[in-house]
Amino acid sequence: MFLNKDSESKIDDVTKSQTVKCYTYTFAHPDNPAYKFILIDTPGLSDTNGVKQDDKNIKEITDAAISAGSLSAIVIVANGTEARVTPSIKNTLVRLSNNLPDDLLGNILLILTKCTKSSASFSECAFSKEIAKPKKIFYMDNQFFCTDPEVWKDDEDERFNVEHHWKLSINTINRILETITDLSSTSTKAFENMREYRNKIKAEIDKVTQDITNIQKVQDKLEASQKALQKSGDQKNSYANYTKTETITLNKIVKASYHSTVCSRHMDNIICHDNCGLEMKTSSGTDYFTACYCMGSNNICRFCNCGPTSHYHAMVKLIKETKTLNKVLEDMKAQYDSANQQYQKYSTDANNYQSTLANLQATANAKYEYIHKLCKDLSKICSRFNFVDELHANLDNMRQDARVIQNINIRRNAEAEIQRLEKLASDLSSKRGSMY
């Protein structure tokens, strides 16, 4: 039997696991030296150092069990005065149920401390439901270890109580040893198989947690590009009417069934005398049109301001024609083109982010499926194993720890990690179905 001087830590702080590593103690029964006992003292769970410390402690315990090769009993010590299933106790129960192989469930002994059988308030029902029904339950009221002997050594009544509980504790220890000798030794190979599966699961969890971070980043970018796409689309629509419609009326000379007086200099858009009564003369260059209605007193045409020699007769008439013209507003079109260019860019960005998001989600889904397979295989060794429950138990503790963090940056990082794990737990729950 030996005691490493570094095996205990912060003995004045009951909220911390007193054992920080696994230590082995070998001793013979004082009344029956033929019986040799090897005790492996392990770290506790739900340490106030948090979930990461629990992970380290679980690894220590698993490694020690594997090194032992076989175990006759798994002795779990709990505070018998703890009545309420707190997040800390829930975490301990879930972690134990997720790490004890079915092969060893029949070897579980439960010791409730700081109480007697009649005063225990620990929920044995919750323990049986979450882990397994213990082979036997023992009670030990050893609170005198927590007091200074100066308090009771000279007090007759208190000394009697201490000695009485000490004798009861010794008797309880003897019953525990007798029970252990009656139990069959069981191989710890299952611990090794569980460790292999859990390591694979944790590795996949790390990968998929990074995938979740990347997915959230791409989702943020996709959302931003969609908002920008909406805004540029609204701008594009507001500048879409960059053409202005105008209606104009034009004079047009067309063929007619009668002759009219026209001027050879202005025949495109002026008829000097419509339906002229003079005898038709198709050539110009004479004073023939001096008598035409269109001529004024000074022999100057009142419509084209030319003399009679430039006039002649033609079978035409003048009509008014209405035309609709589309006029481009250049400044408005420039705004439309700019908005359209932005719209096309954000549309491409949104499509690219959507494609990237789909690929990332597909990759994450493949990892979820692989995690489910590993969990299903692990549940064949440990039928109560449920990684989602373990995640939720971890999250309860992490939320509790985060609330007391004073440093803003550290607290923000802790909350971000909690959000990632919440997303992971939600995804695993929604995709799990009846897989395990």
* Res. 143: pLDDT tops 80: no
Which is nearest to 87 in space by CA: 46, 44, 117, 29?
Answer: 46
Strands 243-263, 186-187: pairing kind: unpaired
Say what the pLDDT of residue 109 is.
Answer: 94
Higher pLDDT, 415 or 155: 155
pLDDT in tens, 32-82: 777 788 898 888 776 666 667 877 888 888 888 888 899 999 999 888 888
Tokens of 220: 């943020």
Query: With pLDDT > 90 as the criterion, what percentage of the chain qualifies?
Result: 19
Query: With pLDDT > 70 as the criterion, what percentage of the chain qualifies?
Result: 83
Mean pLDDT score, 304-310: 93
Q: Does residue 301 sit in helix, strand or coil? A: strand
**Residue 65 · residue 191 · CB < 8 Å:** yes
Higher pLDDT, 119 or 428: 119
Poorest-pLDDT segment among 143-147, 192-196, 223-227: 143-147
Separation of alpha carbons 404 and 73, rounded Å: 38
* Segments making up each domain of the chain, as ranges: 23-186, 205-241+330-432, 246-328
pLDDT in tens, 276-289: 999 999 999 999 99
**Residue 197 · residue 378 · CB < 8 Å:** yes
* Res. 371: pLDDT tops 90: no
Mean pLDDT score, 249-257: 87
* Res. 262: pLDDT tops 90: yes
Say what the pLDDT of residue 257 is.
Answer: 94
pLDDT in tens, 334-364: 787 888 888 898 899 899 989 998 898 888 8
Say what the pLDDT of residue 160 is.
Answer: 85
* Res. 311: pLDDT tops 90: yes
Say what the pLDDT of residue 434 is.
Answer: 39
Q: How confident is the model at residue 328 (pLDDT cuts 50, 70, 90)?
A: low
How many CA atoms, within 13 angstroms, populate the side-chain half-sphere of residue 33? 0
Say what the pLDDT of residue 16 is.
Answer: 45
Say what the pLDDT of residue 395 is.
Answer: 67
- How far out from the chain centre does Cα 182 lie? 51
Separation of alpha carbons 231 and 225, rounded Å: 10
pLDDT in tens, 92-122: 777 778 888 988 888 999 999 888 888 889 8
User: Taking each helix axis from N to C terminus, what angle separates 189-238 and 408-432, rounded to the nearest 10 degrees?
Assistant: 100
Q: Does residue 286 sit in helix, strand or coil? A: coil
